Amino acid sequence: MDISGLIIDCQERRFRAVVDALEGMTELEILRILPPSRVVCLVEAAGIDPSLAVSERIWAIPGVAAINLTCHYHDVDGAAAAQPSH
């Protein structure tokens, strides 16, 4: 499991188009839309490679200026699932 918090910076003139494209991506959840140029998202993926593939799809959206990784959790070999609950 790979969980990433992202802040996506957009060109202001392309902001609505970027938001529309992100809303069409099932691999991420939009947590907050911050006009005129930022979107906060959560990505949950099966691992690093699928997570990077989501980032590549975001970068391919015209108007994306930057993707800022704000937090990241990588569960190596399912270690979190193996932990006993208290």
Residue 82 has pLDDT above 60, yes or no: no
Question: Rounded to two decimals, what is the model's pTM?
Answer: 0.83
Q: How far is CA 61 from CA 26, 27, 37, 44, 57, in A?
A: 15, 15, 14, 19, 7
Average pLDDT over all residues of the chain: 91
In this model, does residue 85 exceed pLDDT 90? no
Domains of the chain: 2-77 (3.30.70.920)
Asked whether residue 84 carries a pLDDT value surpassing 80, the answer given is no
Per residue in 10-39, pLDDT (tens digit) is 999 999 999 999 999 999 999 999 999 999
